[in-house]
Structure 1
Amino acid sequence: MVQKVQTAAESASGIFQPEVSIVIPCLNEENSIGIVVEKARQAIEMMGVSGEVVVADNGSTDRSVEIALSKGARVVHVPQKGYGSALRGGIEAARGKIIVIGDADDSYDFLEAPKLMAKIKEGYDLVVGSRFKGCILPGAMPWTSKIGNPIMTTTFNLLFRVKTSDSQSGMRAFTKEAYQKMQLHATGMEFASEMLIKAGKAKLKVTEVPITLHPDKRGRPPHLRPIRDGWRHLKLMLTYSPTVLFLVPGLALMLLGLLLMGIHLLAPMDKPLWLFGKLRMDFHWAIVGSLLTLTGYQVITAHFMAKIYSVTHRFQEEDRILQYGFRYLNAERMLLLSLIAIAIGLAMDGWVFWDWVRRGYHGLVSGHTRLVIFGSTLIALGIQNFFNAFLFSILSEGYRQNRTLRS
């Protein structure tokens, strides 16, 4: 990320190595940036450590940069748009061993930063300021966020088995070493979710402290777009949880499809299947089962591809299921399974064809159609699995090389 750095007089020397850097993303915050920078400087004095205030400007067209400089901040210009981009640019330019982040609209009170800093001193890698464990002052949070944030946090906790009360809090403290381990890439508001996800995967030591959320002083429409940014958070969480996104629905679809086709094999050839004596299930349901089976197989395949990509690109740790899969389901065994499925499918369809010829090219009944649907589905699965065997063989090479590099 390319940045042009503009410094205040007191931090013009590149030799200065502070213990803490308070990083503030900024976009047209002239009403509040001066107040926020002053509070950040006071917080550093309260901590009793050397520090700097870094304002990561994301293209302000008002007097934000001028005011920030006049208050003693160092300004970093980050050209790539987005909340996450601004924070990443500011953090990467920060010189401190410990980073504290918070918004420029004075909704987070930097005078509470010493509480977060104290937890870092205790040995934690990441400290989150929790608004829901602390206090949300009247007018500080819209009702949509009061509903949406707990829902997002609950979803986050279920997907990643973490225990956080405020996954979307914008006030946090962490070590520069922890930041480098997390390898964050998000450019928008989903930066907050990605940080907690990556912290968990990197096995960092995380805790929370209660903080107070204040009504902001921005004097302009908010940058946050609840629907757009909420979707980006949810999409990121699902992307980092391929089991929930792919495997669970894929298995459900495939098993339901096989069940719908399989139960028709129990019905008489010339009669439909009656479920519970009331529901008539003819070959139309077998067609639905075939579609569900093929769709489920594709989704399961996408799950394993996503897992391989995540591990080889180090988005997540080694996966035991993948290890067993590559060990026992090599290309040769997958090809053999494919040929078996194709052979069974051809046998079923072939028997129907033979019976049709034997009947003088007429007289096919519902049971024949059901058999053809099941047999054709097995042939389609076998062909897909045949080519997937070669694809997974190629991907497995990258997976093994990644494991070698890690070891």
Structure 2
Amino acid sequence: MSEQDDVCVLLPTFEEAETVETVVSEFRNAGLGRVLVIDGGSTDGTRELARDAGARVVEQSGTGKGQAIREAVREHVEAPYVLMADADATYDAGDAEAMLEPLRTGAADHVIGNRFADMRPGAMTRLNRIGNRLINAAFRVIHGEGFADILSGYRAFTRESFLELHLSADGFGIETEMAVECVKNRVPVAVVPITYRPRPGGSSTNLHPIRDGGVIFLELYRKAKTNNPLFYFGSVGALSTTAGAVMAAYVLYRWIVHGVGHEIIAVGAAGATILGIQLLVFGFLADMILSLHREQLAHHDRAVDVGGERETDSRVDDDSATDADPSTVRER
């Protein structure tokens, strides 16, 4: 088996006839012969062109990029390493070795290609660039890690680590969900600088910045429930408490200055304040429980490591005893 036979290049596609043949050929010319194209029902000849270029082609059973990736890795990939890229010719197959190196050396189980390291002119619109920066900043605040470019579609990961992630996103939120799950499951992540090129003329993107950006922000917040409950409950609690305080201040002002009471607004202020405080308390309690759970997992992992070392030492002693002089063994 050659060095590259342990890698499967995964290309999720939908209406990529303009570029898929070039992308498949580039990866194959780079020595990565195992290319899997999973297509979402293209009608423009994407599957035929990919097959002609030498890729293995399967049609996904559902819809959406996220569903395609989950189905491909779980059911169609056998290689230990997966190199995932978009089929729009924006990623450089020449970066493949740099992406795979952390996996082969054991430095990481999941690798993210940082597009901002070498983004060519015209590769990303100003709106998309601003949106990416905001989403990455939100990820750092909510989940406590800075992966530089969590929306990058150029990824490399071990199949084993992917199967440990609990993924459910069907659309473009899959990259965000993978990053969050890596933090949650303490999967070692490496960030590698890559080149990001403009889409070739004639091809069109399947990404809708406003709609998909909103979905990604919601995914970040939704995943905070189990990874950062203090933010998840605390942010809503803080908003509710602030709203209650503002309404209470208005009621007091009107009563003191004008002698006018606002009983309904006062009731709303009290309810909003109480709800906000309860959510804040719940967030603190949930965060404490999560911290305790993580400490227990860390303790369990250390115990397993120590147990493994002891078992190895025991086996070494047994082997030494077996190789020793028979009379010595009998005396023991």
TM-score (norm 1): 0.62
Residues 29 and 105 in structure 1, CA contact (< 8 A), matched pair in contact too:
yes
Counterpart amino acid of 1:111? G
Query: What is the aligned-residue identity percentage?
Result: 29
The CA deviation at 1:293 is 3.5
* In 1, Cα distance between equivalents of 2:222 and 2:259: 38
Q: Note if 1:290 corresponds to 2:290.
A: no
1:191-210 mapped onto 2 (5 Å cutoff)? 191-210=174-193
- The answer for the alignment partner of 2:28 in structure 1 is 41
* In 2, Cα distance between equivalents of 1:227 and 1:106: 23
The CA deviation at 1:252 is 5.0
Q: Note if 1:57 corresponds to 2:34.
A: no
- The answer for the alignment partner of 2:140 in structure 1 is 157
Q: Note if 1:167 corresponds to 2:150.
A: yes
- Residue aligned with 1:215, SS: coil
The CA deviation at 1:61 is 0.6
- The answer for the alignment partner of 2:244 in structure 1 is 257
* In 1, Cα distance between equivalents of 2:87 and 2:290: 44
Counterpart amino acid of 2:70? R
- The answer for the alignment partner of 1:377 in structure 2 is none
The CA deviation at 1:90 is 2.1
Q: Note if 1:70 corresponds to 2:52.
A: yes
* In 1, Cα distance between equivalents of 2:14 and 2:198: 18
1:134-283 mapped onto 2 (5 Å cutoff)? 134-217=117-200, 219-242=202-225, 243-251=230-238, 253-254=240-241, 257=244, 274=256, 283=261
Counterpart amino acid of 2:234? L
Distance change (3 Å), C-alpha of 1:251 and 1:22 = same
Residues 65 and 170 in structure 2, CA contact (< 8 A), matched pair in contact too:
yes
Residues 137 and 213 in structure 1, CA contact (< 8 A), matched pair in contact too:
yes
- The answer for the alignment partner of 1:25 in structure 2 is 12
Residues 98 and 176 in structure 1, CA contact (< 8 A), matched pair in contact too:
yes
Residues 111 and 157 in structure 2, CA contact (< 8 A), matched pair in contact too:
yes
- The answer for the alignment partner of 1:320 in structure 2 is 288
The CA deviation at 1:249 is 3.0
Counterpart amino acid of 1:37? V
Distance change (3 Å), C-alpha of 1:164 and 1:25 = same
Select the residue among 82, 87, 106 that pairs with 1:104.
87
Distance change (3 Å), C-alpha of 1:299 and 1:190 = farther
Residues 26 and 55 in structure 1, CA contact (< 8 A), matched pair in contact too:
yes
Q: Could you list the runs of 5+ residues in structure 1 that have no partner in the other structure? A: 1-16, 46-50, 309-317, 325-407
Distance change (3 Å), C-alpha of 1:110 and 1:257 = same
* In 1, Cα distance between equivalents of 2:278 and 2:161: 34
- The answer for the alignment partner of 1:313 in structure 2 is none
Counterpart amino acid of 1:60? S
* In 2, Cα distance between equivalents of 1:272 and 1:214: 60
**What does the per-residue CA deviation read over 1:143-194, in whole Å, with 9 as the maximum and x for residues that have no partner?**
2111111111111111111012111111010111110111211101111100
- Residue aligned with 1:130, SS: strand
Counterpart amino acid of 1:119? P
The CA deviation at 1:219 is 2.3
The CA deviation at 1:247 is 2.5
- The answer for the alignment partner of 2:114 in structure 1 is 130
Number of corresponding residues: 283
- Residue aligned with 2:237, SS: helix
* In 1, Cα distance between equivalents of 2:280 and 2:62: 32
* In 2, Cα distance between equivalents of 1:205 and 1:322: 20
**What does the per-residue CA deviation read over 1:185-228, in whole Å, with 9 as the maximum and x for residues that have no partner?**
11011111000000000001111011111111372431000010
Counterpart amino acid of 2:271? L
Residues 33 and 104 in structure 1, CA contact (< 8 A), matched pair in contact too:
yes
1:71-86 mapped onto 2 (5 Å cutoff)? 71-86=53-68
- The answer for the alignment partner of 1:380 in structure 2 is none
The CA deviation at 1:33 is 0.8
- Residue aligned with 1:131, SS: strand
The CA deviation at 1:290 is 2.8
Q: Note if 1:89 corresponds to 2:71.
A: yes
Distance change (3 Å), C-alpha of 1:273 and 1:128 = same
Distance change (3 Å), C-alpha of 1:56 and 1:263 = closer
* In 2, Cα distance between equivalents of 1:95 and 1:217: 32
* In 2, Cα distance between equivalents of 1:110 and 1:217: 15
- The answer for the alignment partner of 2:326 in structure 1 is none
Residue range with higher mean Cα deviation, 35-44 or 149-158? 35-44
